[in-house]
Structure 1
């Protein structure tokens, strides 16, 4: 099998582990970037080869237009992952918006004969469950208020006007993608799905997270951890343990 090299513009190998038996691809939240997953990639190496997706419109891709359609974003990522498939089991992890992108990517890979081994979703209700939300049409102040409410962005950064001007276009575009997304047709994956959730997440409740069970034929589990929407930062050891268990890799001895 001929394997194309990774598209480094889209797929960042933050802590390369070429000898790992499994590859894990991580999808960021709205406004987020690949670098959010550096601690995770470092902690899982060398047992998992972790890739993080870099969406257009942020950091070194800031000059590119933000992709404001989840399905279009998934098309682009799935094409690149399929081209770079190297025969190792491939698992996907997404947080918040990233859960939707990861789900759509998993469906595309499955349809093209390269199903993923596991889908791990975090901080997001199931794709067929919709809430009426309007964050993407709010003023800049409204966007900042949303970021503060979710506690995922350093408060000092939110007070820096220059930084805000750089990040808000991506945040707004990503929220538009999420808030206009609707899964109109049921889709079931042939891989197991694990949903992770903070117990005080203001945007997702346990019943909404359990809805992911409707999108797999291979088993579903839900793990609720302490914290809000960005529980996975403080609860990283528990998140890593859940990922290792799902991927079938043992913790590093030490």
Structure 2
């Protein structure tokens, strides 16, 4: 059985060194995404924050592993890895599918580890309590590729390279299955603050969908709307990072003993 260090190396990527005692920010990729999508986040946020990007199975250096097709199981696996290294008050950020994984990990941290996250940042995703029937994962390869083009989140060079696409499609399909078959289980709201980010032209998430995240916390709620579609963060990365660091560093400076 792998030890915690081995599991952490498998599941978590740290691209830049952080200052001692820095607040930890765990970042969760979108469907089909990888930890490397948060390299630029890490570049901008460290050393003030310790950025840890989660690497799901079934892609890049983990491509030989089976993809996770059940979101709650995936969240449980990530929780078990992050739990011993999360720190006293970890923060979490997730985009699209990653927002729901981050939410479920935050619930496990509060419920099973007695740890209240410093903040949950959710991007490009409706609140978990808003359920819709979606079946992209049941489409053929052409239909799956068309969805990726529609959301404009995949490099056009990747979409044009059949060999790369063939390697990526199983992970993309598995992720879509995980998020589209996810069933929200009602429970107590989180105690941590939640900030919801959204693009004003997102074809999959309305402003009302994003605002509904306020139902999932008894703490503070904030929402920021940016110009752009589902992957608005590709053009607003610096502004999003500034929002994250502003909220976390301000809150950390108010913590007793800081």
Flag the 1:119–1:98 CA change in 2: closer, same or farther, 3 A.
same
In structure 2, the partner of 1:68 is 69
Residue 201 of structure 2 is matched in structure 1 by 200
Structure with higher helix content: 2
Indicate the residue corresponding to 1:172 in structure 2: 173
Give 3-state SS (helix, strand or coil) of 2:8's partner. coil
- Specify the alignment match of 2:96 in structure 1: 96
Matches within 5 A, 1:1-254: 5=5, 7-87=8-88, 89-111=89-111, 112-248=113-249
Query: Contact 2:59–2:171 (CA<8 Å) still a contact in 1?
Result: yes
Cα deviations by residue, 1:101-153 (Å, 9 ceiling, x for unpaired): 00000000011212211000000000010122110000100000000011111
Q: Where in structure 1 are there 5+ consecutive unaligned residues? A: none
Aligned length, in residue pairs: 246
Q: Deviations over 1:53-98 (max 9, x none)?
A: 00000000000000111110010111111122343x3100000000
Structure 2 unaligned spans of 5+: 252-258
Tell me how far apart the structure 2 counterparts of residues 50 and 78 of structure 1 sit (CA, whole Å): 16
User: 2: CA distance between counterparts of 1:243 and 1:71?
Assistant: 26
Structure-1 separation of matches of 2:188 and 2:54: 23
CA distance in 2, matches of 1:144, 1:187: 38
Taking structure 1 as the reference length, the TM-score comes to: 0.94
- Structure 1 distance, partners of 2:86, 2:154, is 33
**3-state SS of 1:191 partner:** coil
Partners in 1 of 2:31 and 2:143 — Cα distance? 15
Structure 2 CA distance for aligned equivalents of residues 231 and 85 of structure 1: 28
RMSD: 1.4
* 1:168-223 Cα distance to aligned partner (Å, 9 max, x none): 00000000001001213134100000000001000100001111111000011110
Q: Is the 8 A contact 1:82 1:114 kept in 2?
A: no
TM-score, length-scaled by structure 2: 0.92
